[in-house]
Amino acid sequence: MSKSVELKNPNLSGMSSDFLYHLAINVPNTADTSDIQQRFGDVRVLCMGGTSSRMRDLAIYLRKIVAVSDDGEPVDLAAAGHRYAVYKVGPVLCVSHGVGSSTFSVVLHELLKLVMYAKCPDPKFIRIGTCGGVGVPPGTVVVTKDAYNGYLRNEHEIPILGKRVVRPASFADDLIKDILAYGNLSGDNFETISANTMSTDCFYEGQGRTDGAVCEYDEAAKMEFLQKCHNLGIRNIEMEATMFASMTQQVGVKAADVCVTLINRLNGDQVEITPETKADYEQRPFLIIGRYIQGLLSK
């Protein structure tokens, strides 16, 4: 039987109200969240991605999937917050999270509280994005298993009250399996795989690039590092997976990270595909997750 989200913060029960500031969504009475339940209680999947435009495109794409008869401009429910975009398409929320774990963690905290107040039954959190590949062709869709930080450790670390706190960073095996079931189907001209992901706090030096404003290592050192990543089963690099895996694992919600590679980092650092090819690649996670959502809602 599906259950509502229970968060690991005893302080929330002592709050009479809760303003989800960055989403511009107010919970005026935490003892009676019937209004929030009416607005968001049917949400079963939360899809998150870096840019508001990509989430708008996803919202439009999902209308046919969830049988929503609306051809107007999607409404941004968080527009008053001026930070993130939130589009609701039936039982799916499409939410932008910015670049990197720091911006993503802000909205993830508030989304987790939102689904708790709304009493959403067993919501699934799915990040959709782009990434750099490690030893896989551009256009490959990678569903993350274990997330590694920039030290190549399968963990997320965060300073809390001046102390270093380390938490595990893995995604739910059953959700990975469910999503993979909708990849590599007849007609797909790309591969969908499950593999480990490295998540860094920096796009340039943190990912071993040699094309940033600062670089104090040579090409040989970079390639040695990337090969070490590959030996750990890492097949893509992005900037959110460790935090995302850690927080969702900490509170016990099912989550998945589904990204398409734009480049094979073993062959270089610059993304050189055409805008048309990039747009095609970005549709691939939409396709996989659209199939998954359709299957989930049919059960």
pLDDT at 186: 87
Residue 270 has pLDDT above 90, yes or no: yes
Which CATH class for the 1-122 domain? alpha beta
Q: What is the DSSP string of 40-85?
A: HTT--EEEEES-HHHHHHHHHHHHHHTT----SPPP-TTGGGTS--
pLDDT, one tens digit per residue, over 169-224 is: 999 999 999 999 999 998 999 999 999 999 999 999 999 999 999 999 999 999 99
Q: Tell me which residue of 249, 173, 242 sits closest to 181, measured CA to CA.
A: 173
Q: What is the dihedral of CA 63, 69, 74, 76, to 10 degrees?
A: -90
* Average pLDDT of the segment spanning 50-72: 91
Q: Which helix (H) or strand (E) holds 95?
A: strand 92-96
Tell me if 19 sits within 8 A of 26, measured CB to CB: yes
pLDDT at 71: 80
Distances from the Cα of 49 to the Cαs of 14, 75, 130, 237, in angstroms? Answer: 32, 17, 9, 15
- In angstroms, rounded to a whole number, what is the distance separating the alpha carbons of residues 193 and 169? 19
Residue 75 has pLDDT above 60, yes or no: yes
pLDDT at 2: 67
Residue 1 has pLDDT above 70, yes or no: no
pLDDT at 16: 97
What's the angle, vertex CA 252, arms to CA 8 and CA 56, rounded to 5? Answer: 100
User: How many Cα atoms occupy the beta-carbon half-sphere of 187 within 13 Å?
Assistant: 4
Fold equal for 1-122 and 128-299: yes
Which residues neighbour 184 within 8 Å (Cβ) at sequence distance 6 or greater?
191, 192
pLDDT at 275: 95
pLDDT at 69: 78
Burial of 22 (C-beta count, 10 Å sphere; 0-12/13-18/19+): middle
pLDDT at 78: 97
Pairing of strands 254-264, 86-89: unpaired
* Average pLDDT of the segment spanning 285-292: 97
Average per-residue pLDDT in the chain?
96
The residues spanned by each domain of the chain are 1-122, 128-299
pLDDT, one tens digit per residue, over 22-56 is: 999 999 999 999 999 999 999 999 999 999 999 99
In 139-190, DSSP assigns E strands to: 141-148, 155-160, 163-168
Handedness of CA 97, 101, 105, 106 (dihedral sign): negative
What is the band of 67 on the pLDDT scale with cuts at 50, 70, 90?
A: confident
Q: Which helix (H) or strand (E) holds 127?
A: strand 124-133
Q: What percent of the chain has pLDDT over 70?
A: 99
- Domain 128-299 adopts which CATH fold? Rossmann fold (3.40.50)
pLDDT, one tens digit per residue, over 134-158 is: 999 999 999 999 999 999 999 999 9
